[in-house]
Amino acid sequence: MKGTPAMSYLLHIDSSALGAASVSRQVALSFRDQWQGPVVHRDLAANPVPHLNAAGVTARDTDPARHTPEQAKAAAVQDELIEEFLGAGAYLFTVPMYNLSMPSVFKAWLDQIIIVDRTLNLSGPAPTAGRPAVLISARGGGYGPGTPKHGLDFVVPTLEAVLGQLLGLTVTTVIPELTMAPHAPALASLLPLHKASMDAAHEQARHLATTFATTRAA
């Protein structure tokens, strides 16, 4: 894998607030069950990172020797997250749809790690260019072509652009959908489609984990 550290780990970033009940997390477990190698797991729902503030922004362009206490604290958070991000050789992101977008905890994590000349290169490939990533994004309804909500998915297109174009990751997306069908009587007719989507998502996750492992060993 181009740009991948020879000895590294899978960085798994969780963001669903539902814990074990989360469909995104359940599909991620299918990936993890097949993954062979070390894993660093960060659960943003259980331990959210701070939202980016003025201290965090200004610390980036200020000599560390002149940091205020607030800037030093903010810079320490960014340094930890960026070191963890850059040290990974592969990535697993579980990011469900919340109100047509991503959970705010995941957006906060992105804002903390995307820094010019550290993870973002404006004149060439990002340091993580070419590293493989799986994005798992469950949603209660269906947002594909032909559905009434087509065009209202602001999770996957946004993250494929941020993770793929800004950070250079090679992103494969897994979308378990219609997760409200077992819980909403009005969606009962969609249960077969939901089950098919879940089965396909788990199988795709297992296959991707095996593929990643084979690539790492090559």
Report the CATH number at residue 181.
3.40.50.360
pLDDT score, position 179: 92
Does the residue 3 lie in any domain? no
pLDDT score, position 218: 47
The tally of domains found in the chain comes to 1
Does the residue 207 lie in any domain? yes
Does the residue 147 lie in any domain? yes
pLDDT score, position 2: 42
pLDDT score, position 176: 97
Does the residue 1 lie in any domain? no
Q: Which residues, given as ranges, of the chain have pLDDT below 70? A: 1-7, 214-218
Cα–Cα distance list, 172 to 84, 103, 176 (Å): 21, 19, 13
pLDDT score, position 103: 97
Say what the pTM is: 0.92
Does the residue 2 lie in any domain? no
Q: Among candidates 19, 11, 9, which has minimal Cα distance to 41?
A: 11
Does the residue 56 lie in any domain? yes
Does the residue 135 lie in any domain? yes
Range of the domain at 41: 9-217
Strands 39-43 and 9-14, by their bridges, are parallel
